Structure 1
């Protein structure tokens, strides 16, 4: 016969394993697994404290308090460098933990999943996992109700599910199902004695029932994952080749999916603070060169470039700067992305950390590693050619042929581009004419975060000829396509406008997320054009566009078969009065506290669940035992009567017989005659079942006797609200020897 094992230790281990299995769902919002080791350490530490406390026969409340202290010590040791003796949380360590947690909350609020598992997020995750592990330990081992722990584990899945735009990995559901199946197999104190043979425990945990339950759940999770993993687009790293649909079908900006998330936020989140910017200009994160009519603009052809550093080569075909570069300091606040935004033409970038690359052809700085964003300094040149210089720009164009690729553009769009540029004989005038087509109020285009309803026509044609409303994504995409249709090299740039002034800094927020167009001119490189008709003063037009108003470009009629535009037309009674120029348009200040309210609500909900859990466990046990009593389950009925007495502070001695217990309890609580008679009837049934020979006949229904006893106990010794909310039989369950 195998050695006996303490079943509470087994249940503790199963609870910790179930928590870690469920926590794998966070792989849906975190880009790496650096959080797994510290989370495992925290769960193991809390489980060990729970085991030690119960070995020393400490009160459950004392055990929980010890686990909370252990959680604080563990977080101090793992995530701070200022703890006393490495683990004791002094004031400096508490401040460090607070900074980690506030930084993590900011990342949760501003980041677009998947985000790197930086130390701040690891700290927050370990705190949450630790609290869940304590709750599961109390429910599984202290209350002996492993099924109830499933509610807490389900709440863990709800957190990453609410943050990720796509379905969580299917295997995380399978692991969660396996952990929960092990909890159910433990069965708390209802199935096992305090100590059981090791072979029986192994058979129970890994028997056919557990394997069948876990396998069924894994199959369901696998089928669900295969069927629904393709849902959602946000949260993918830029440039990934997975199926992504951005914007209006066919003209969306796919790689920088965080742009859409930033445009659609209900609150404004601060992203950057900038010092030294000589003039308002756009902050470019990346550029897109390939247009696919079915999938939109895509990031293809990005080279490995050169290491980003203090001396960056100029783009090919661009002359060296004629004046000293400007120096700008950029401090990321709520920005986390593998693209490092830059202004103008960078000549040097420093301070951002290792492993950053610069691609001169694309004009972007990027990394292929997950790392924390740091403040960085950029030295840059802001070219300012005149309209005449751009009109006369000729010569070779050392750019990739993809920047001129016009394949797949609908014929009606090509015809529109030719009509708009019919009077232009150079690339600058063609680009300016197409830009004015969108910004001239007479043509009915307007900026709107909601695009017009889809008509089933080509999305690009639908926007140009009918909808005529959308945000920068639609405008930049459409202008770049029109330019290529008439042979002008173009690309879409993604990034931010210059933000608003705050003292000697400029503040860039999620409200400044923007897309625009860049056009190539020989000898001058890529120049900025912005077709989006913004009305809030955020547009930073280059000097050559402000100096060249040009004639108005009327909107051509839609091609045959296209419905007329339903966009509102502006009044034509006369020119609009001039508005006084404002250096900075009024802006909404970044808001804070939205996520704090959500956390307060979440913690409040968790507190309510934990407070209600003991009473819920008690009610579930009563229901199951009364149902067993209807089929003659004398043992279940007797256990329910004993728990009712224990809820009122009466714990029968282990050596007493059932009849002796009944007599003592009836006298102590003053049961009336009906209740006493029903209690004796129940005791007779228990003795017959325990000590008598098996009866072939159907067992009698004991539920009337049990109900009469319970009613008598309630009459003679009613429970207080505290005894109802925290029943002693759940918090200090009887342990059968």
Structure 2
């Protein structure tokens, strides 16, 4: 592929890389129909750049043409006229429209709650950023020939996900990486001459070995070193940037829950304050999670909602009023959640028309762009609703099929988890339990025992983080809650995970909940009673157990019933019997915890690199068809050493021999033969009859000798 033609392919690849960078916003915005117009604007802009490169040899004129086209398309697509129509021709009011759209996008981005729905103004801002990134990178990589260096700019869209430790679409990241690597493989800047000369002459395909090495190194660093660094020891101690409220920064719960990540440093900023006539509340609940793939949790889908009036609880409490309620007066600060925080017990609240209740997830939704920021409300809760007696009373309902109304996802177990091993541990722990309450209590106490340690640093694991946690015994609330949920499901107990905040600390007459009070806990289902919180996370983080599970105050016979044929003591992790007689550790199956997706991406990248190298080799061979094309190929590969293209073949030969280090006898002979062949082709009546394969060999001799001579000269300096 010649120096000019490679750019026609590189520009669309740069556009693909920039477009896939939107994947870095995963978890911050909701992907939807707005992606289609964004892709259309980006594609049309890239097409204008390609067409401009066909029409001109100037390196940056296509960028200017693309910028004008992109700006016009963004105005047409996202800037309405005063009457709400479409403006095909920019007018004086267009600038005012742009300003209003920009202000609206800024306000919406600052006040909305992640993941935010993308409305028109925000979609326009994102499209503008993507098109601008494409144009800048294309100008550097294709126009100026700095393909490798442009990769630093292409990292920009992924920085939010990196700094916030959010999950990103794996295929989008792999696709962006592959497209950028293809741009690098297609181009190689000459080491001689100014950058303007290199941009004018065009780049040449990289050497196969260099392209393959760059591809492998980049894939390894991006997909192995970076994830290990993010999840590795010490990451949790790294500070995070917290914007002050005056600058529009908002705090919120992290809904991207991945058990492989260490716990980042928690904010001491107040989230909310409350007063209570019944003392400190145990937890304030916000969200529920039901689907777990072995390492990551997914939010529960929103079910049918109803106005948030009356008693809010998934099960019918039998009365429209709550006996002996406790009252909380809650005042939010700058925390912008999309769910109203409520106690984990039946409750009532004074709600506006924008408040809805979802009984399937036990979440109170609030339809405000700013979410819960600066919200004030009062909640009345049933302080003694959960009791040992009421929970034990659920067993007859279980036998009568009381779990049938629970969605199946609360019993699902992902195949990545070593289900048999986890079930054996759970069965051993609960061997003496006579009902669901005792089994749940036994699971809770197992994790709060001496075998487990609260730690904010978690070693990265493979696809089965639960088994890794059970083997290591160290983690924070997410690991403890997840392990108890999975164990409960292996015992056919519907379970899910909830997140919210612990009750905070007393400061004067108020209780203050701070960012560091963010917490996750398991909820187990009891028919006729509802979802019940248990607390497996050690007391060092959570304090006392929930009152209905306070084993220290419970009668001894409750925890130690009459002996049966099964063991009655809680086992330690190590002696738990296995089907094979050996204790397995996650990742010891030969993969050493190596993520399967890395293997897949490496394989795809290798295949793509091999295909690109094969295609480039074929293209290089096809480029030399006669003496004239061989001469041009040699000049391009020599770069500045070949001199100006106005020189005759004889003058070019003299220039090459005089310009740099000596080529050696063989290369000088090949150069002379090649010069004679092109002179015959131009001036001899019969032309040149030299075969293309021979001509290509002479070109390789000269180019290789020039490269080696230059290397030798640099080494001797």
TM-score, reference length from structure 1: 0.50
Q: Deviations over 1:598-657 (max 9, x none)?
A: xxxxxxxxxxxxxxxxxxxxxx9xx9899869989643553356458863795344xx75
Residues 174-231 of structure 1, C-alpha deviations (whole Å, 9 max, x = no match) = 9x99x989x99xxxxxxxxxxxxxxxxxxxxxxxxxxxxxxxxxxxxxxxxxxxxxxx
1:250-289 matches, within 5 Å, as: 260-261=257-258, 264-268=261-265, 273-276=271-274, 278=276, 279-285=280-286
**Residue 391 of structure 1: how far off its partner (Å):** 6.4
Residue aligned with 1:471, SS = helix
The answer on 1:534 being equivalent to 2:538 is yes
Q: Does 1:495 align with 2:508?
A: no
Report the CA distance between 1:358 and its aligned residue. Answer: 2.0
Confirm or deny: 8 A CA contact 1:101 1:121 kept in the other structure.
no
Counterparts of 1:403 and 1:296 in 2: how far apart (Å)? 29
Distance in 2 (alpha carbons) for counterparts of 1:44 and 1:494: 45
**Paired residue for 2:483, among 463, 471, 474?**
474
Distance 1:67 1:295 in 2: 43
User: Could you tell me which residue of structure 1 aligns to residue 316 of structure 2?
Assistant: 316
Q: Are 1:566 and 2:565 counterparts?
A: no
Partner of 1:32 in structure 2?
32
Q: How far, CA to CA, are the matches of 1:297 and 1:49 in structure 2?
A: 42
Residue 382 of structure 2 aligns to a residue whose secondary structure is: coil
Q: Which residue in the other structure is 2:698 paired with?
A: 702
The offset of 1:435, in angstroms, is 2.9
**Secondary structure class of the residue paired with 2:272:** strand
Provide closer, same or farther for how the CA distance between residues 12 and 371 of structure 1 changes in structure 2, counting only shifts above 3 A.
Answer: farther
Q: What does 1:399-414 align with in structure 2 at a 5 Å threshold?
A: 403-404=402-403
Equivalent position to 2:554, from 550, 557, 574: 550
In structure 2, relative to structure 1, the CA distance for the partners of 1:390 and 1:287 (3 Å cut) is: farther
SS state at 2:171 partner: coil
Query: How far off is 1:507 after superposition?
Result: 2.5
Equivalent residue, structure 2, for 1:363: 362
Mark the CA change 1:651 to 1:538 in structure 2 (over 3 Å): closer, same or farther: same
Q: Is 1:687 aligned with 2:684? A: no
- Check the 8 A contact 1:329/1:378 in 2, yes or no: yes
Whole-Å separation in 1 of the counterparts to 2:302 and 2:101: 43
> Equivalent residue of 1:276, what SS?
strand
State which of 651, 667, 673 in structure 1 corresponds to 2:644: 651
Structure with bigger gyration radius: 1
Query: Which residue in the other structure is 2:133 paired with?
Result: 131
Matches of residues 435-474 of structure 1 in structure 2 within 5 Å? 435=441, 438-439=444-445, 446=452, 471-474=480-483
Kept in 1: contact 2:290–2:299 (CA 8 A): yes
Partners of 1:305 and 1:360 within 8 A in 2: yes
Task: Judge conservation of contact 1:274–1:329 (CA < 8 Å) in 2.
Answer: yes
Secondary structure of the 1:385 match is coil
Over residues 26-50 of structure 1, what are the superposed CA-to-partner deviations in whole Å (9 max), with x where a residue is unaligned? 6795642423323532554576478
Task: Summarize deviations over 1:293-323 as a string: whole Å, max 9, x none.
Answer: x9999999986241x4466666523431355
Question: Cα distance 1:568–1:18, how it changes in 2: closer, same or farther (>3 A)?
Answer: closer
- C-alpha contact 1:284 1:495 (8 A) present in aligned 2: yes
Provide the C-alpha distance between the structure 1 equivalents of 2:447 and 2:690, rounded to a whole number of angstroms.
93
| Secondary structure of residue in 2 paired with 1:32 | coil
Name the SS for the 2:330 alignment partner: strand
Cα distance in structure 1, aligned partners of 2:428 and 2:137 = 67
Structure 1 residues 71 and 99: CA distance shift in structure 2, 3 A: farther
Compared CA separation, residues 128 and 401, structure 1 to 2 (3 A): farther
SS at match of 2:689: coil
CA distance in 2, matches of 1:348, 1:60: 65
Which residue of the partner structure matches residue 347 of structure 1? 348
Of 638, 652, 668, 2:631 maps to: 638
Q: CA deviation at 1:471?
A: 0.9
* Cα separation, 2, equivalents of 1:127 and 1:86: 19
Residue 546 (structure 1) shift:
6.0
User: Which residue pairs with 2:19 in the alignment?
Assistant: 23
CA deviations 1:384-433 (Å, max 9, x no partner) are 22898956998999999654569999899789868445xxxxx9xx8479
Contact 1:386 1:543 in 2 (8 A): no
Q: Is the 8 A contact 1:518 1:528 kept in 2?
A: yes
Offset, 1:686 = 0.8
SS in 2 for 1:261: coil
RMSD across aligned positions (CA): 7.4
Change beyond 3 A, Cα 1:99–1:404:
closer
How far apart, CA to CA, are the structure 1 residues paired with 2:33 and 2:709? 55
Going from structure 1 to structure 2, the CA distance change for 1:60 and 1:329 (only over 3 Å counts) comes to: farther
Cα distance between partner residues in 1 of 2:506 and 2:40: 44
Q: Contact (CA 8 Å) 1:361, 1:399: kept in 2 or not? A: no
Query: Contact 1:518–1:526 (CA<8 Å) still a contact in 2?
Result: yes
User: Cα 1:677–1:480, aligned 2, differ >3 Å: closer, same or farther?
Assistant: closer
Offset, 1:274: 2.5
Summarize the Cα distance change of 1:98–1:517 in structure 2 as closer, same or farther, 3 Å threshold. Answer: same
| 8 Å CA contact retained: 1:519, 1:526 | yes
What is residue 513 of structure 1 aligned with on the other side? 520
- Alignment check: 8 A CA contact 1:666 1:676 kept: no
Within-5 A mapping of 1:650-669: 651-653=644-646, 658-659=649-650
Distance in 1 (CA, whole Å) between partners of 2:700 and 2:490 is 81
CA distance in 2: counterparts of 1:708 and 1:139, whole angstroms = 25
Superposition TM-score, scaled by structure 2 size = 0.51
Confirm whether residue 384 of structure 1 aligns to residue 363 of structure 2: no
Quick one: structure 1 residues 67 and 548, their matched pair in 2 at CA, closer, same or farther if it must change by over 3 Å?
Answer: same
Deviates more, 1:309-318 or 1:403-412: 403-412
Q: Which runs of 5+ in 2 are unaligned?
A: 81-91, 187-252, 412-419, 576-612
